[in-house]
Amino acid sequence: MLDQQTIKKISEFVYQKPRTIQEVATLLKKNWRTANSYIEKIAAEQGTLSMRAFREGTRGALKIVYWSNIEKISSTTFQERLFKKIEIGAQKTDFSPFDIYQYVDEPKKEIIIADLEKEPKTENLNKFLRQTKKELFAFSGNLSWINKKNVAEAIEELLEHNVTIKILSRVDIASIKNIQKILAIEEKVGKKLIEIRHCSQPLRGFILDDSTAQFNEEKKPEIYKPGELEKELLITYRIRDEEWVGWLQKIFWNLFRTSISAEKRLKDIEKMNKAIKKS
């Protein structure tokens, strides 16, 4: 059984130096498969451990477990500067995903521009989400994307395929209905794979596994000088660079670990509402 004491024991062991799965198994007095499943669970739920396979597919294959240094998020000066801007941002207008996109090498990025006067407010989001194989991270404002065409069905399909979904969103009166819609899908499927935490942050987008990050940004004519922008646009930035996707995952984990669960937040909101009605 993976309890807090076992998690602490594994974490402290790996923190000292990278370990093989067999070393962890010996420490726990468990078999290799159990140790591997424990590490996968800690990696998925806490983001503190990572695994890498060497000589995969051969008789001498070796899996190494190492500590994910999520405290040290940035490896370059401009990544550090970008993270500081994201960390202090609360609204989507506080940070532009283009500031990340501009640093990614050309073959590993894509930009999609939609005219919102002619096209829907999403670029086949449900098809994009369905590409997730193991884990989906969502940076959100109030989870309004769950109301987009066929997205609820895409989330249901991911849960049926045991994809874990972690979400950062504001948890307040404006987002309660959307949270309930998402949790209703989880209840329907019967698998506890969704975790939502309260966080006001400026990014709006998703990270699919270790492969792809996608962020949206709206451009409205009214915030520009007359004649600078003639129509309302939705810009989608898609990044497939392993280094940058990994950096964005670290940002997600940093925000996620320090954010409160939606369940606790909703209970406190409910108590507050009852107190207001009684007053």
The pLDDT of residue 41: 86
The pLDDT of residue 174: 84
Q: Per residue, what are the HEC states of 50-90?
A: EEEEECCCCCCCEEEEEECCCCCCCCCHHHHHHHHHHHHCC
Q: Where do the structural domains in the chain lie, given as residue ranges?
A: 4-67, 77-272
- Domain range 4-67, its CATH number among 3.30.1370.60, 3.40.50.300, 1.10.287.610, 1.10.10.10: 1.10.10.10
pLDDT at 122 over 60: no
Q: Yes or no: say if 136 and 207 are a contact pair by the CB < 8 Å rule.
A: yes
Cα 138 from chain centre = 4
- In DSSP notation, 80-116 reads HHHHHHHHH--SGGG--THHHHTTS-GGGEEEEEEET
The pLDDT of residue 130: 94
The pLDDT of residue 57: 64
Instruction: For the chain, give the percent of residues with pLDDT over 70.
Output: 89
Which of 24-28, 86-90, 122-126, 233-237 is the least confident region? Answer: 122-126
Q: pTM score, two decimals?
A: 0.75
> For the purposes of burial, counting CB atoms within 10 Å of the CB of 55, is it exposed (0-12), middle (13-18) or buried (19 or more)?
exposed
**Region for 16 from its dihedrals, namely left if φ exceeds 0, alpha if ψ lies in -120 to 50, beta otherwise:** alpha
> CB within 8 A of 89, min separation 6: which ones?
95, 201, 202
Average pLDDT over residues 138-151: 92
Q: pLDDT band for 277, please (50, 70, 90 cuts).
A: confident
The residue that leads in pLDDT, 118 or 15, is 15
pLDDT at 69 over 70: no
The residue that leads in pLDDT, 71 or 114, is 114
Q: pLDDT band for 236, please (50, 70, 90 cuts).
A: very high
The pLDDT of residue 233: 82
pLDDT at 65 over 70: yes
Q: pLDDT band for 182, please (50, 70, 90 cuts).
A: very high
pLDDT at 121 over 60: no
pLDDT at 43 over 90: no
Q: pLDDT band for 72, please (50, 70, 90 cuts).
A: low
Q: pLDDT band for 244, please (50, 70, 90 cuts).
A: very high
> For the purposes of burial, counting CB atoms within 10 Å of the CB of 167, is it exposed (0-12), middle (13-18) or buried (19 or more)?
buried
Does domain 77-272 fall under CATH 3.50.50.60? My reply is no
The pLDDT of residue 229: 65
Q: Across the beta sheet with 19-20, what order do the strands follow?
A: 19-20, 62-67, 49-54
Q: pLDDT band for 147, please (50, 70, 90 cuts).
A: very high
The pLDDT of residue 271: 86
The pLDDT of residue 71: 54
The pLDDT of residue 49: 84
The pLDDT of residue 74: 59
